[in-house]
Amino acid sequence: MTTRLTLSIDAMGGDNAPDMVIDGVEAAAKQNPELRFLLFGDETRLNEMLQSHPAALASSVVRHAPDVIGSGDKPAVALRGGRQSSMRLAINAVGDGEADAVISAGNTGALMAIAKFVLKTLPGIDRPAIATFFPTMRSQSVMLDLGANIECDANNLMQFAVMGEVFARNVLNCEHPSVGILNVGAENLKGNKEVRDAAEMLQQTHLPIHFHGFVEGDDIAKGTVDVIVTDGFTGNIALKTAEGMASMFGFFLRSALTSSIFGKIGALIARPALLKFKAKFDPRLYNGAMFVGLNGICVKSHGGTDGFGFANAIGVAVNLVRNNFNEGIKEDCAQLLEDRDAAILAAGEGDTDNSEAAAG
- CA dist., res. 82 & res. 75, Å (int): 10
Q: What is the DSSP string of 94-140?
A: HHTTS-SEEEE-S-HHHHHHHHHHHH-BPTT-SS-EEEEEEE-SSSE
List alpha helices for 171-231, DSSP H: 193-204, 217-222
Site for a second copy in 94-113 (CB under 8 A): none
Report the DSSP beta bridge partners of residue 179.
211, 227
Q: What is the 3-state secondary structure (H, E, C) of 159-175?
A: HHHHHHHHHHHHCCCCC
Nearest alpha-carbon partner for 168 in 179, 180, 160, 177? 177
Minimum Å gap between C-beta 93 and a second copy is 29
Binding residues for a second copy, total number by CB under 8 A: 59
Identify which of residues 153 and 216 has a Cβ nearer to a second copy in the complex.
Answer: 216
Q: Is 139 in the site for a second copy (CB under 8 A)?
A: no
Identify which of residues 65 and 228 has a Cβ nearer to a second copy in the complex.
Answer: 228
Alpha carbon 276 to chain centroid, angstroms: 25
Site for a second copy in 69-98 (CB under 8 A): none
Site for a second copy in 236-295 (CB under 8 A): 236-249, 251-253, 256-257, 259-260, 262-263, 265-274, 276-277, 280-281
Cβ 2 vs Cβ 31: under 8 Å? no
Q: Is 57 in the site for a second copy (CB under 8 A)?
A: no
Identify which of residues 273 and 346 has a Cβ nearer to a second copy in the complex.
Answer: 273
Minimum Å gap between C-beta 222 and a second copy is 6
- CA dist., res. 236 & res. 276, Å (int): 28
Minimum Å gap between C-beta 190 and a second copy is 8
Report the DSSP beta bridge partners of residue 229.
144, 181
Q: Is 220 in the site for a second copy (CB under 8 A)?
A: yes
Minimum Å gap between C-beta 246 and a second copy is 6
Q: Where are the beta strands (DSSP E) in the chain?
A: 6-10, 36-41, 60-64, 101-104, 129-135, 140-144, 178-182, 210-215, 227-229, 289-292, 297-300
Q: Among 3-11, 17-25, 173-181, 230-238, which window interacts with a second copy (CB under 8 A)?
A: 230-238
Identify which of residues 9 and 148 has a Cβ nearer to a second copy in the complex.
Answer: 148
Q: Is 221 in the site for a second copy (CB under 8 A)?
A: yes
Among 13, 164, 180, 232, which residue interacts with a second copy (rule: CB under 8 A)? 232
Identify which of residues 269 and 359 has a Cβ nearer to a second copy in the complex.
Answer: 269
Q: Is 43 in the site for a second copy (CB under 8 A)?
A: no
Residues that bind a second copy (CB under 8 A): 135-137, 147, 150-151, 182-184, 191-192, 216-222, 230, 232-234, 236-249, 251-253, 256-257, 259-260, 262-263, 265-274, 276-277, 280-281
